[in-house]
Amino acid sequence: MAAVDVIVDKLVTLWMKQAVRQLFPWTFLVISVFGSVLKDLELVPQTYFSSSRNALNVYFVKVSWGWTLLLLTPFLLLSNSSFSRSVLFLSRRLLSLAVATAVWYICTETFFYIEDKTGSCFETKTMDVINKEFTSKASCRQAGFHWQGYDISGHSFILAYSALFIMEETAPMAYLKTASLSALPRMVLNLLYVALNLIVIIWVWMFACTSVYFHDMDHKVLGTICGLLGWYLTYRVWYLKPLSPGLPPQRHPKEQKQHA
């Protein structure tokens, strides 16, 4: 597992850089705008990823929140329990998963609602014959027709939000790499950390593909801003307050005992 240890050290060093953490959120906004410009100018050639049926989209992006929770839940439990085994502390930290899930659910349902309320059902792809019988995207598509509404990019939202969520919740790894952990927990923690970083790479790549191949610019930028706001209002505003899940542990366990 020496190779994994080296990878973990390099990843931890990267994420410990203040500039990386400060610029990472802005990266999504830049990619969204710049990618949209490239799409509008038709400067990006069609590739495997220009099809929504590509494997990463079908097996990862379509269930992106599931992947995020699947990997982040055990990591959060294992990493945070290394700082404190207090039931109250762990319960508060696990609450961050519930809050993030609520943000994901509320935002995506709102996007669906807006698309339904602003859209119409068309019988052809040329959008010249409206069928007023169907008043929702789901019923329209089930009938084999085409729905046209204001489609805020759910992909832009969830990929940006998930990546920033992972960035925040994996921060304790910077302090745990020197902690005294037994072999098995250390191995599991390292593997989960590497897997989460791989997921972040996939999310960023697919976010870029969404920007250059799909949706209109305003749909993507608005979806991205929603993702950034979901992250900012929790980790930069609410989680600094006493009545909140709180931020991930910011100090080495031994340092916490010294400051207790």
The catalytic residue among 146, 215, 219, 252 is: 215
CB 60 within 8 A of CB 67: yes
Q: What is the DSSP letter of 248?
A: P
Is-catalytic flag, 252?
Answer: no
CB 171 within 8 A of CB 248: yes
The catalytic residue among 155, 219, 252, 259 is: 155
Burial of 155 (0-12, 13-18, 19+ CB in 10 A): buried
Cα–Cα distance, 24 to 20 (Å, whole number)? 6
Is-catalytic flag, 215?
Answer: yes
Bridge partner list, 145: none
Bridge partner list, 120: 148
The 3-state DSSP class for residue 130 equals: strand
- Rounded to 10 degrees, what is the CA torsion of 221, 160, 99, 107? 30
Q: Which amino acids are annotated catalytic?
A: 155, 215
